[in-house]
Amino acid sequence: MLHDLNAYIVGRLLLAALLGGIVGTERELSHKPAGIRTNMLICLGAALFTVISYEMASNVGGDHTRIAAQIIPGIGFLGAGVVIRERGTIIGITSAATIFVVASVGMAVGSGLTVTAIFTTLLLLGSLVVIGNLEQRFGLQNRIMSFRVTAPAGGEIVHRVHQIVEDAGLQTRRWHTHASEEGALVEFEAEMTVPQERDLMTRLEALKVRTEARLVPAVRPL
């Protein structure tokens, strides 16, 4: 009854689940949509499909890679499910790329390339943790900022604000200009890094206008 299940296959599946779970733990701690269970199941499923592809081809003949080759478009479908577009910004690209690499780890385990799979998992964790921390430390991650500039009435200041934003190389969205009790009010949003935000605030404050900036919270994919 258990002739198709041996210690070698069990070891591969357990290793795939372990590696996927390790990556999923990092994603879970970072509050990302694809967490422990998702990455574990993806890695386990990719490993099992690879094992099935090899075993079926050995037993009944055929191409060893036929079933395994279908994993890639299937994972592309899953990856697309965690990517959304919100306010002109793409969210979830890293999670989708992680899913793609986790599936490749599962395929490597299923193919018997255990050392390669473990090494790839370490590289993936290094990319997510080390590089992610560096991006946060130096403010290199893009985020959407909302600006509110209050200037004296008149078109000259408004034009200068617009020119400063253009000179900074920023693409704005939701640009609104209207009159208020304090003068002209300019509101806009732009995607930028922390250094770009600081540079823009310095330029705007040089105009002797009141400038307020706040972070627009990103919508997380389900």
130 pLDDT tier (thresholds 50, 70, 90): confident
pLDDT of residue 61: 67
Summarised one tens digit per residue, pLDDT across range 144-188 is 888 988 877 766 778 888 888 888 888 887 888 887 777 788 888
- Name the range with the highest mean pLDDT among 109-118, 132-141, 189-198: 109-118
Could you tell me where the beta strands, DSSP code E, fall in 30-88? Answer: 84-86
Instruction: Tell me the CATH number for domain 143-215.
Output: 3.30.70.260
Percent of the chain with pLDDT over 90: 20
Mean pLDDT (whole number) for 59-78? 77
Q: Is the CA virtual torsion 146, 150, 153, 156 positive or negative?
A: negative
More confident residue, 140 or 72: 72
- Ordered by start, the domain boundaries in the chain are 8-137, 143-215
Q: 20-34, 110-124, 207-221 — which is least confidently predicted?
A: 207-221
Q: How many CA atoms lie within 13 A of 214 on its CB side?
A: 6
87 pLDDT tier (thresholds 50, 70, 90): low
CB crowding 121-131: b at 16 or more within 10 Å, else e: beebeeebeee
Mean pLDDT (whole number) for 34-45? 89
Summarised one tens digit per residue, pLDDT across range 180-214 is 777 788 888 888 888 888 888 888 888 888 888 88
221 pLDDT tier (thresholds 50, 70, 90): very low
* DSSP state at residue 34: S
Q: Is the pLDDT of residue 1 over 50?
A: no
- Name the range with the highest mean pLDDT among 59-63, 188-192, 214-218: 188-192
More confident residue, 64 or 133: 133
